[in-house]
Amino acid sequence: MKTAALKIVVGTDGAEPGQAAVRWAASLAADRGMGLLIVHALHSEQLAYGGGLAGPASWFDDLAADGRRVLDEAVADAETAAPGLPVDTVMPIDSPTPHLIDASKSAAMVVVGASGKGFFAGMMIGSTASAVIAHSHCPAVVLRGRKGTTNYPDGGPVVVGVDGSPLSEQALETAFDEASRRNASLVAVHAWSDITYDDVYGMARLVTQWETIEGDERRLLAQRLAGWQEKYPNVAVERVLVRDRPRHTLLEWSAKAQLVVVGSRGRGGFTGQLLGSVSQALTQHAECPVMVVRPRKTR
């Protein structure tokens, strides 16, 4: 089968969140003229006895047959969502995580469900999704839906978190591009601090300090947005400025957004930290798909 050169990569385990992820990724790939690569792992390491001894060959044969069934169903789902879409599949015998991360090196986007088999409403992010967003080489999307379901909205604004860090600038660029492709408006949420004075010091917030800083922060946000608004004049922008706790504001917006875009870590992150508190909170609790932008790899 002839496939598009640039692909969206999606992982599935056969459970409904993974199947929904395939349909979502297929529709997006078709809209953008890309191919789709579906990854389903057999997890054959779970069939090993203690000491690394392999289980019976018949177990593996049954597992492989079930894996092929999952991939056949995933391809059928992709075809239903996007007829004629170029689709490739891969079925590693071990964990899917390293294969998704490796595929992300040449992908436009990697997509994973928020959780796998055993999915319950409100369940926290799964281990595969957590590892992928921490190590992906391209933007990684964790598919969260309204109220913890697989109801992924296709309407509403694109929301982006802005904190002035270099990675935040990448997130802005990605968010403007997503909003433009989706014919959606953009909401830029900026908090000048990620500290809540009430929580840290047990005292009233420094209102006078906020009033002093607010004007400067508003001007800085306008400056950060200006260049991108010039490049994407079709995107209407709403600016939201808050004192602190950006994760709370972004989570509130996720209930009416179709996508939230954040950097994997912000200006408050530590060197070597893979995910910041904001991106962690969103991938665990948001009510729409969350795109986490990772640092660009330098050659």
> Do 113 and 138 sit in the same domain of this protein?
yes
Compute the average pLDDT of residues 84-107: 94
Q: Is 65 exposed, middle or buried (0-12, 13-18, 19+ CB in 10 A)?
A: exposed
CA proximity to 27, closest of 176, 127, 128, 143:
143
Residue 133 lies in a domain: yes
Residue 228 lies in a domain: yes
Q: pTM score, two decimals?
A: 0.84
Q: Inform me whether the pLDDT recorded for 39 exceeds 50.
A: yes
Residue 153 lies in a domain: no
> Do 121 and 193 sit in the same domain of this protein?
no
Range of the domain at 18: 7-146
Residue 114 lies in a domain: yes
Residue 242 has a pLDDT of 87
Q: Inform me whether the pLDDT recorded for 290 exceeds 60.
A: yes
Q: Is 223 exposed, middle or buried (0-12, 13-18, 19+ CB in 10 A)?
A: exposed
Number of domains forming the structure of the chain: 2
Residue 299 lies in a domain: no
Residue 2 lies in a domain: no
> Do 137 and 166 sit in the same domain of this protein?
no
Specify the range with the lowest mean pLDDT, choosing from 54-68, 118-132, 195-209.
195-209
Residue 190 lies in a domain: yes
Q: Which of 114, 146, 178 corresponds to the end of one domain?
A: 146
Residue 220 lies in a domain: yes
Q: Which of 146, 166, 197 corresponds to the end of one domain?
A: 146
